[in-house]
Chain A
Amino acid sequence: MASPAHASGGPRRDGLPASETGGTDIRAGRRAARLERIGERTAWIYTGLVFGFLFLPILIVVIYSFNAGRHVTELTGFSTQWYTIAWSDRFLMNALRNSLTIATTTAVLATVMGTASALAMDRLSPRLRWLMELLTYVAIIVPGIVIGIATLIFLVTAFDWLNPWLAYLAGVDAPHLGLGAASVVAAHTLFTMAIVNVLVRTRMRGMDRNLVEASEDLFATPWRTFVQVTFPQLLPAIMAGALLAFTFSFDDFIIAFFTSGQDQTVPIYLFASIRRGVNPSVNAIATVLLGVTIMAIVLAGLVYRRGQRRGGAGAQG
């Protein structure tokens, strides 16, 4: 009687322990355990299904990368020709190089600046903190397409002002500022840095301040406290932020489209090429990237595990 009544749940939440531990406690406990087991199994099946949903298109991409046929609509046989073709396609390779450079630079800049600002924000004066928070949220809120357009317009206006000055100051060999990979990094870092900041601060809010204070009471330097206490606790959030930053930058089409000048990235190349029939060699590129990613993650996992073992019993499983 007690359990269903509770499950249907009134707005009152505070009466939980007293009313339920009352009479038939053992049977209720067993039922709860069974319910939890069923719930757990359902959760696993469901998670499996979602993973299936996530990987279904990936499977298609991998299969078609080995497809002998010219077009994605027909499966004709096994072949590795698209790998050779992709490797010798200079436009595609050039775009891939640009994309990797842009995404890596963005991830590093965003992680460093986002984490640094997150760590310091609680120590700023309230007014400055409010301002930083506002800027961070606005950076996240402004849609990518607006960022792309606004950055394009702003940068070309700024370059129009700066270039004559550079020419005046440095003479004929003055560098001519223009749009390119750097302007894409600038726009990508804006958004991803704000994301890292929010993720790290979300984590900090749940962090155990007692440990930090204990460390400080033991006269550890701020740096030691950071490295030994704060950083390990923040690491999952920082990692998640770095992953998101790289992924976002590598995947983004619309910001890059507006701000890249003449430098092509993989999404720009792909978007333009589907207009006149997409070349299946892009599936080969995607498969290679996927393989590299999985290897990198496995490697990172191994390193992490070894580090944890060396760290000994202190780290919690």
Chain B
Amino acid sequence: MTNGRDPARRRDPAEITRLAIERRMSRRTFLAGTGAGIGALALAACAPSSGASNAPSAAPSSGGATGNLGDTLNLATWPNYHSQEVLDAFTSLTGVAINVGVYGSTEEMEAKIRAGNSGIDVVVPSNYAIEGWVADGLIEELDYGKLPSFVKADWNARFMDQAFDKGNTVSIPKNWGTTGIAYRSSKVTEPVTTWKQFFDAAGTTYDGKAMIVDHQISSFGSAAVAMGYSLNTIDPTEMAAVEAMLTALKPKLFAISSDVQPPLRALDTWLSIAWTGDGVQVGRDNEDARYVVAEDGGELWIDSYTVAADAPHRDAAYAFIDYITQPEQAAAETEYCLFPHANDKATALLIDEVKNNPVIYPSADSLVALEYAVNATYNSPERAEAWARIKASA
């Protein structure tokens, strides 16, 4: 649809992202072409950082036992989150095939991991679930002895040592992101830069054209922010007010659904609650698509690697986490999924179009007002019931 790339348009974030994709494609083709070379590349990249051990990163220094990684690893993660090249490189390096299970939410992962006997080794939940999972023994304390390549100094302090996991005893970040507002500027002409504006416009100017995600924390939380409360409110009066607002809004919404991309692309929906990746991916194909972090607050989140307590392939799980959190692999993963990474060395390795894309890496100022959702919010039966009532209302 777009023919030329005049300098003026090049400043457009969508165009920048498109450039990034093109470069990423050529780079991935190169990587695929070199085949096994990627392993060597990875080893070269990590060798200096893991000074304590000169053993290959994929066969961690777990007592010198090299042949016990097994042949399978079960990874429970999100859709379109991992670069297949990186996973393949791990397999060719170690002989461990990765069986990827994709889930639409942390809650769905929990349904499997809490039931147990699921075979899952590595899970990638969002921050708010972790405390509860630790309390109930669903995930194990990380054995850093089996993660020789992990160098804490490489990681951005903004995303480490958080309240949900002090000292990162059970989790290492995969990618992080925001819950913001995605819209099509060809249809949404006045500025929508706060949650208050979003929810006001959703029920009036854009009747039938706005959408919220089917996720209690993100939707109920953002609505709470719009009304001046905390994202994490579990105060009965505040929750009642939010519930009344959303119940009244529901008939005017296009949908309550976490599948925000298809309707945003088709212009069934003009504006929606969305997560960073949605914003970047829709913006990649539609010049008028915008993604903003709301000025009045909202959610900041981190997805992290954790090891299931009943992991059948524990050694493979550690070898995998040790491998995929190294800067080179982390950078390749980030260029694939287009969510920001918490490892500064990985960020430094990114191509400029990703690194400097304000949608992927928003300015530090814009993050100040954001909050992490906490375990109490995730587990509040009252809040869950309020959300259920909103969804059940006619």
A residues whose Cβ falls under 8 Å from a Cβ of B = 70-73, 89-91, 94, 152-153, 155-156, 159-160, 163, 176-180, 258, 261-264, 268-269, 271-279
Contacts and interface: CB of A to CB of B under 8 A. Distances in A.
Nearest to A272: B102
A73 B266 contact: yes
Interface of B: 74, 76, 78-80, 84, 88, 99-104, 111-112, 115-120, 258-259, 261-262, 265-266, 277-278, 281-282, 285, 312
12 contacts: A73-B265, A90-B84, A155-B117, A156-B115, A156-B116, A160-B117, A176-B117, A178-B117, A269-B102, A271-B104, A274-B261, A276-B277
Given A73-B266, A176-B312, A273-B80, A262 B119 contact: yes
Contact of A275 (B74, B104, B282): B104
Nearest to B75: A262
Nearest to B98: A90
A272 B104 contact: yes
Nearest to B100: A91
Nearest to A73: B266
Contacts of B266: 73
A262 to B, nearest CB: 4
Contacts of A89: 84
A150 to B, nearest CB: 12
Contacts of B111: 258
Contact of A262 (B78, B104, B120, B285): B120
Given A73-B266, A273-B79, A277-B261, A159 B117 contact: yes
A152 B262 contact: no
B117 A262 contact: no
B85 to A, nearest CB: 11
B309 to A, nearest CB: 13
Interface of B is mostly: mixed
Contacts of B80: 273, 276-277, 279
B79 A272 contact: yes
A153 B278 CA distance: 34
A154 to B, nearest CB: 10
Given A90-B84, A156-B116, A159-B117, A276 B278 contact: yes
A160 B116 contact: yes
B191 to A, nearest CB: 26
A268 B281 CA distance: 22
A265 to B, nearest CB: 11
B99 A277 contact: no
Contacts of B99: 94, 262-263
A264 B102 contact: yes
A277 B281 contact: yes
A113 B78 CA distance: 38
A81 to B, nearest CB: 13
A153 B104 contact: no
A262 B118 CA distance: 6
Contacts of A73: 262, 265-266
B258 A153 contact: no
A259 to B, nearest CB: 10
Given A90-B84, A178-B312, A273-B102, A261 B259 contact: no
Contact of B118 (A70, A179, A275, A278): A179
A176 B312 CA distance: 9
Q: Which of A176, A261, A269, A277 has the most CB of B within 10 A?
A: A277
B32 to A, nearest CB: 10
B119 A274 contact: no
A90 to B, nearest CB: 7
A-B pairs, 4 with minimum CB distance: A272-B102, A277-B261, A262-B74, A159-B117
A91 B80 CA distance: 10
B97 to A, nearest CB: 9
B78 A276 contact: yes
A197 to B, nearest CB: 30
Contact of B259 (A176, A269, A274): A274
B278 A261 contact: no
A298 to B, nearest CB: 35
Given A71-B265, A72-B262, A276 B115 contact: no
- Counting chain A CB atoms within 10 Å of each CB, the highest count among B88, B99, B312 belongs to B99
B119 A177 contact: no
A95 to B, nearest CB: 10
Nearest to B275: A276
Contacts of B84: 89-91
